[in-house]
């Protein structure tokens, strides 16, 4: 569990199991994003069994804050049951997903590469 600055412009958030702590962590990240000029964010769901509407709401806020600065939000290691919640809510097209944090970080790096 925790929020880790992987670099000046990438934050990795490893979410805990407890839903109340998840919501608190996501709110903290939203505050960090609001104060920073710009950063990309990877949210690691490997410990998460259930995502609540409050958690989804915080993720939507985060997504909009990042989009304002043309930055990425990638959700990784999402379990099948949690992915089902995103799918049923019609959010699988809204968020970007990666298999694990390494794939998410690679996607961020590829997006930063200049187009040839």
Q: What is the pLDDT of residue 87?
A: 94
CA 75 to chain centre: 4
40 has which bridge partners? 10
pTM for this prediction: 0.91
What are the tokens at 69?
Answer: 């600065």
Segment 70-86, tens digit of pLDDT: 999 999 999 999 999 99
What phi and psi values does residue 44 have, to the nearest 5 degrees? -95, 115
Q: How many CB atoms lie within 10 A of CB 9?
A: 15
- 65 within 8 A of 30, measured Cβ to Cβ: yes
Map out the domains of the chain as residue ranges: 2-111
Segment 6-25, tens digit of pLDDT: 888 899 999 988 888 888 89
Class level of CATH domain 2-111: alpha beta
What are the tokens at 84?
Answer: 């089902």
* Per-residue pLDDT band at 47 (split at 50, 70, 90): very high
């Amino acid at each position: 569990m925790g929020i880790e600055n992987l670099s000046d412009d990438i934050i990795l958030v490893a979410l805990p199991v407890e839903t109340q702590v998840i919501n608190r962590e996501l709110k903290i990240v939203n505050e960090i994003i609001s104060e920073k000029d710009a950063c990309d964010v990877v949210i690691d769901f490997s410990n998460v069994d259930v995502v609540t509407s409050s958690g989804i709401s915080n993720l939507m806020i985060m997504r909009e804050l990042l989009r304002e600065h043309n930055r990425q939000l990638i959700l990784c290691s999402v379990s099948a049951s949690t992915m089902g919640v995103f799918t049923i809510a019609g959010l699988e097209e809204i968020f970007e997903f990666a298999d694990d944090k390494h794939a998410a970080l690679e996607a961020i790096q590829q997006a930063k590469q200049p187009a040839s």
